[in-house]
Structure 1
Amino acid sequence: MNIVEFLEARIAEEEAAIRDGMFVVGTSELPEDGSDGKASLGERMQEECAEKRAIIASWKEAAEGEGIEDPGDAEGTVAIARRAMLTILAGSYRDHPDYDPGWSPELPNDVSAEVRAEP
């Protein structure tokens, strides 16, 4: 399982948990708009899942365009920055049994001197 597959599986689990009501819905403080705050946490969690999916879709599109099949093969400044987004997302799941410690959320900085020298 690569990091993209891992993230997609975790997001699917989160979405299922939200749908099944496994998370408490609401906030600890009343919103400034005067509403009771009900469902705001659940809505934010659903939006967060959608945003994570958008990051993964962006990676997949860029990787396909550059012929990258495994995120670990990413080279160059932009590819490494995109891979960093995946590692940061995966870091929040580091306690999951399928998490690979090689996906450390530390930002990769192994850009070759040739890439750094490009204008």
Structure 2
Amino acid sequence: MNIVEFLEARIAEEEAAIRDGMFVVGTSDLPVDGTDGKGSLGERMQEECAQKRAIIASWKEAAGDEGIEDPREAQGTVAIARRAMLTILAGSYREHPDYDDGWSPDLPNEVPAEGPAR
């Protein structure tokens, strides 16, 4: 399984969980617009899945244009940047048994200190 297949499978799992109601839908605070906020969390989660799919589709299109079958074959600045987007997305699934440690992005793991108060 390559990173693209892995991500598509995780996103499909998330979408199924949203449809099956496995996530609590709603927010703890009332929105500014006066609505009850029902569905906002679920809608945001669905939107996030759609955005992840858009990143993957962008990768697939560019990879197809360049004849790349495996993201590890990416060469050049733009291709490597696109591959980095995939590794960053996959990083949120590090605990999944199918996650490949070779996909692990080098991301900062410390929260920067807040600057001086102004």
Equivalents in 2 of 1:6, 1:79: separation in Å?
19
Deviation at 1:52, TM superposition (A): 0.3
- Aligned-partner SS, 1:36: coil
Residue 78 of structure 1 corresponds to: 78
Residue 99 of structure 2 corresponds to: 99
Following superposition, which runs of at least 4 residues in structure 1 exceed 3 angstroms of deviation?
none
1:11 aligns to 2:11 (yes or no): yes
Code of the residue aligned with 2:37 in structure 1: it is: G
Listed as ranges, the matches of 1:14-93 within 5 Å are 14-93=14-93
Give unpaired runs (5+ residues) of structure 1: 108-119
Equivalents in 2 of 1:84, 1:106: separation in Å?
10
Identity of aligned residues (%): 88
Equivalents in 2 of 1:105, 1:27: separation in Å?
31
Code of the residue aligned with 2:33 in structure 1: it is: D
Deviation at 1:69, TM superposition (A): 0.4
Equivalents in 1 of 2:29, 2:91: separation in Å?
28
Give the alignment's Cα RMSD to 1 decimal.
Answer: 0.8
Deviation at 1:28, TM superposition (A): 1.7
- Aligned-partner SS, 1:106: coil
When normalised by structure 1's length, the TM-score is 0.88
Deviation at 1:65, TM superposition (A): 0.4
Equivalents in 2 of 1:68, 1:102: separation in Å?
18
Equivalents in 1 of 2:9, 2:23: separation in Å?
18
